[in-house]
Chain A
């Protein structure tokens, strides 16, 4: 299990194509407080991640703890944003696509019988 934002980004860097982002074109900026920024360009499912702050279509900023929890599917991006833990700016449709992507491999059972 990744322990840091750096580790998550490294893992994601190895994945150059995400089928769930097919048809999606846009750029994201992930701003992790006191850790750093990553710029992610998505072009019809192809992903390119670079380090640094650049103008992006959708900017998502949060603490490192929340960043890890969201990527690992332990925290829901939408409710984190509604709570004010995460700031989502710009093209919210892109944020929604990102939300559809993270945590998809995790079976959740909270609230169930």
Chain B
């Protein structure tokens, strides 16, 4: 998000305004009051005597409220402002805004205060794609003290209800207040904006807060204070690390929401502003990252994704029995099936990742009830992998969109259309089997084997899954390895050719454990080598590749969440120093982003720019970016459940003198982890580490 905008959010309701508190931009810009993927206010402009006041100061008080201090005119050092204006806003259901005007002079002032309001009820997809062809009709009406702005298409109705506590002249464009302010007097009003929706569990919403200073009660079962208190306490000699950690916890709290497909279970939305929705892959990975810190997220994510698991064949939505969803939306385009997100199942990795998270959840928490409860869903997921994921029976999961109009072309985490490229920059034909998805499948089968043996009383299935995983690993290391380049191919294309670009996906193979131990050394050297490692993190695609672009979404930028999984992978294969190097570089970059990882940042070399360069349209906050510092901490501290104990095996860079993580919850109750920074990451890549989790 632009630093010129102010965002507050709660669940899938959020307000993005300028620093005055106004919403006054072109329709294709993501400002407005959004709820359920629909923009319920596209204009909200305050004027005083026909002029827009200017901001003195703006504050995001917390993630769901903000305040704006304004004065009329530009002011000079010679002329004091005769009045000040304060707008305080809290979002929830819609929003509540307290507007106060103070007269600082000893004379009365007559004011014409106006709030201009309009709603375009645009679907978020329309805002994102800047396409505003509308098929419904707009209307408005005034009901005593309420202005209603509406949009109707057949029986699809969305309305914005606006009321003021102070008496006003109301017309179809807003509210006018004619005010006489006595000397040193104050005038105020409270404005309530509600988003009215009907349909799937829909009710007319109302602003949750009657006063901006109400005690915050987010809709997520646990308020912010409890959320922070429940998470382990981090202390470190490196204060920046503490700030990054705190910011990550707050952002994860802010991004929790109730999906309309499964209310009552708060899980992470993917990111503000474009992805305030349920995403299978994002929620699963974020929950994995946060497991040692906030295991509640994983439980909710698993429950919601199990509930919405595919049951039918539907080419439009790319649904198949057993498949875990990709994305769920609720705007007009989804409602009228102009987009397939009701929900959409176009991802080939969510299903194995569901199994990975389920097993990891039990490993950390010891809560086997969820594993038993989701036996049928797990078996359906395993069946999907073999029956539908592997489209051509070659033993690999591949994708090719069945919805040719609005489906996603690349159904892996690098889901932009041009993310998968040969080394010469050309785009391979579909179907595509990306390497990391095979790793996830390997991991899912291995982990599911344990669940089958220990929880489903099914040693036969356990044995079969272990055999299949071992076979997959053997075949994968033959088919994807490029001997002359000494790394794994990004993918196999539709003609079963190796897609030979060097990418960060190689690191995911270490995370999943599918890479043979004798190939790990070469992988690690590539990952921290100059072509992939920018100095701030591992690029999505290596320099010198034909498709490389340091500001290309998936072809050269650095993604902190990607790096967090890669660092854990390096660590799992015994590359402690390299893992520490990657973690430290990313954490150092976070300082330049106000201690909050953006979705991605540019892949320019560190020695060239000296600071990490922003990626222009990155979402922030974004869930798996907020989860990244947590996974980096797990990796640095070497936290690993071993039976009913928590193993702590730190490998912390010297730059972090010491750190401690207190009250880590898990099947062991609570445990503390302490570490001293002893790893020197200033020199080149380390020698091959001796112990490897995946050495066998």
Instruction: Check if A12 is an interface residue, CB within 8 A of chain B.
Output: no
Q: Across the interface, which residues of A come within 8 angstroms of B199, CB to CB?
A: 81-84, 86-88
Q: Who on chain B is nearest to A78 by CB?
A: B342
Q: How far is the CA of A79 from the CA of B339 in the complex (A)?
A: 11
Q: Who on chain B is nearest to A20 by CB?
A: B311
Instruction: Check if B157 is an interface residue, CB within 8 A of chain A.
Output: yes
Q: Across the interface, which residues of B come within 8 angstroms of A6, CB to CB?
A: none
Q: Is the CB of B313 within 8 A of A23?
A: no
Across the interface, B263 reaches (CB within 8 A) one of A81, A84, A92, namely: A92
What 1/0 flags go to A64-97 for Cβ under 8 Å of B? 0000000001001011011111111110110111
Instruction: Check if A112 is an interface residue, CB within 8 A of chain B.
Output: yes
Q: Which of A35-43, A46-54, A101-109 contacts B (4 or more CB under 8 A)?
A: A101-109
Q: Contact size class for A?
A: 35 or more
B459 to chain A, nearest CB (A): 23
Q: Who on chain B is nearest to A113 by CB?
A: B404
Q: Across the interface, which residues of A come within 8 angstroms of B402, CB to CB?
A: 111-113
Instruction: Check if B330 is an interface residue, CB within 8 A of chain A.
Output: yes
Q: Who on chain A is nearest to B316 by CB?
A: A111
Instruction: Check if A25 is an interface residue, CB within 8 A of chain B.
Output: no
Q: How far is the CA of A100 from the CA of B312 in the complex (A)?
A: 8
Q: Is the CB of B311 within 8 A of A92?
A: no
Instruction: Check if A13 is an interface residue, CB within 8 A of chain B.
Output: no
Across the interface, B330 reaches (CB within 8 A) one of A82, A105, A106, namely: A82
A4 to chain B, nearest CB (A): 22
Q: How far is the CA of A95 from the CA of B264 in the complex (A)?
A: 14
SS class of chain B's interface: helix, strand, loop or mixed?
Answer: loop
B677 to chain A, nearest CB (A): 47
Q: Is the CB of B261 within 8 A of A92?
A: yes
Q: A93-B264, A96-B308 are in contact. Are A81 and B200 (CB under 8 A)?
A: yes
Q: How far is the CA of A82 from the CA of B157 in the complex (A)?
A: 9
Q: Is the CB of B335 within 8 A of A83?
A: yes
Q: Who on chain A is nearest to B263 by CB?
A: A92
A79 to chain B, nearest CB (A): 5
Q: Is the CB of B262 within 8 A of A107?
A: no
Q: A79-B342, A92-B200, A92-B262 are in contact. Are A111 and B313 (CB under 8 A)?
A: no
Q: Across the interface, which residues of B come within 8 angstroms of A20, CB to CB?
A: 311
Q: A95-B200, A101-B311, A110-B316 are in contact. Are A82 and B156 (CB under 8 A)?
A: yes
Q: Is the CB of A111 within 8 A of B263?
A: no
Q: Is the CB of B155 within 8 A of A85?
A: yes
Instruction: Check if B315 is an interface residue, CB within 8 A of chain A.
Output: yes
Q: Is the CB of A83 within 8 A of B264?
A: no
Across the interface, B307 reaches (CB within 8 A) one of A83, A90, A96, A101, namely: A96
B582 to chain A, nearest CB (A): 40
A62 to chain B, nearest CB (A): 10
What 1/0 flags go to B222-264 for Cβ under 8 Å of A? 0000000000000000000000000000000000000011111
Instruction: Check if B403 is an interface residue, CB within 8 A of chain A.
Output: yes
Instruction: Check if B336 is an interface residue, CB within 8 A of chain A.
Output: yes
Q: Across the interface, which residues of B come within 8 angstroms of A103, CB to CB?
A: 312
Instruction: Check if B560 is an interface residue, CB within 8 A of chain A.
Output: no
Interface residues of B in 239-298 (CB under 8 A from A): 260-264
Q: Across the interface, which residues of B come within 8 angstroms of A76, CB to CB?
A: 337, 342
Q: Across the interface, which residues of A come within 8 angstroms of B202, CB to CB?
A: 81
Q: How far is the CA of A88 from the CA of B405 in the complex (A)?
A: 30
What is the total of A-B residue contacts with beta carbons within 8 Å? 103
Q: Is the CB of A106 within 8 A of B201?
A: no
B660 to chain A, nearest CB (A): 40
What 1/0 flags go to B326-337 for Cβ under 8 Å of A? 000010001111
Instruction: Check if B608 is an interface residue, CB within 8 A of chain A.
Output: no
Q: Who on chain A is nearest to B373 by CB?
A: A23
Across the interface, B337 reaches (CB within 8 A) one of A73, A79, A85, namely: A79
Q: Is the CB of A100 within 8 A of B311?
A: yes
Q: Is the CB of B404 within 8 A of A93?
A: no
Interface residues of B in 304-346 (CB under 8 A from A): 307-309, 311-316, 321, 330, 334-337, 340, 342-343
Q: A23-B376, A92-B263 are in contact. Are A108 and B198 (CB under 8 A)?
A: no
Q: Is the CB of A88 within 8 A of B201?
A: yes
Q: How far is the CA of A106 from the CA of B317 in the complex (A)?
A: 14
Q: Who on chain A is nearest to B405 by CB?
A: A111
Q: Is the CB of A79 within 8 A of B263?
A: no
Q: A23-B376, A79-B342, A83-B154 are in contact. Are A106 and B334 (CB under 8 A)?
A: no
Q: Who on chain A is nearest to B154 by CB?
A: A83
B11 to chain A, nearest CB (A): 15
Q: Across the interface, which residues of A come within 8 angstroms of B309, CB to CB?
A: 100
Instruction: Check if B167 is an interface residue, CB within 8 A of chain A.
Output: no
Q: How far is the CA of A108 from the CA of B337 in the complex (A)?
A: 14
Interface centre among A87, A105, A111 (most CB of B within 10 A): A111
Q: How far is the CA of A92 from the CA of B311 in the complex (A)?
A: 17
Q: How far is the CA of A50 from the CA of B314 in the complex (A)?
A: 31
Q: Across the interface, which residues of B come within 8 angstroms of A101, CB to CB?
A: 311
Q: Across the interface, which residues of B come within 8 angstroms of A107, CB to CB?
A: 313
Q: Across the interface, which residues of A come within 8 angstroms of B201, CB to CB?
A: 81, 88-90, 92, 95
Q: Across the interface, which residues of B come within 8 angstroms of A92, CB to CB?
A: 200-201, 260-263
Q: Is the CB of A84 within 8 A of B156?
A: yes
A42 to chain B, nearest CB (A): 15
A107 to chain B, nearest CB (A): 5
Instruction: Check if B406 is an interface residue, CB within 8 A of chain A.
Output: yes
Q: Across the interface, which residues of B come within 8 angstroms of A106, CB to CB?
A: 312-313
Across the interface, A112 reaches (CB within 8 A) one of B200, B262, B264, B404, namely: B404
Q: Who on chain B is nearest to A106 by CB?
A: B312
Q: How far is the CA of A92 from the CA of B203 in the complex (A)?
A: 12
Across the interface, B313 reaches (CB within 8 A) one of A83, A95, A100, A108, namely: A108
Q: How far is the CA of A100 from the CA of B320 in the complex (A)?
A: 11
Q: Is the CB of A82 within 8 A of B311?
A: no
| Contacts A/B (CB < 8 Å), 24 sampled | A76-B337, A76-B342, A78-B342, A78-B343, A79-B337, A81-B199, A84-B154, A84-B155, A84-B157, A85-B154, A88-B200, A92-B262, A92-B263, A96-B307, A97-B307, A100-B308, A103-B312, A104-B311, A108-B313, A108-B316, A111-B315, A111-B406, A112-B315, A113-B402
Binding site for B on A (CB under 8 A): 20, 22-23, 73, 76, 78-79, 81-90, 92-93, 95-97, 100-101, 103-113
Kindly list 17 other residue pairs between chains A and B, CB separation below 8 angstroms, not including A81-B199, A85-B154: A23-B373, A76-B337, A76-B342, A78-B200, A79-B342, A82-B200, A82-B335, A83-B154, A83-B199, A84-B155, A88-B200, A104-B311, A106-B313, A110-B316, A112-B402, A112-B403, A113-B404
Q: Which 7 A-B pairs have the closest CB atoms?
A: A112-B315, A82-B335, A111-B316, A84-B155, A81-B200, A92-B201, A100-B311
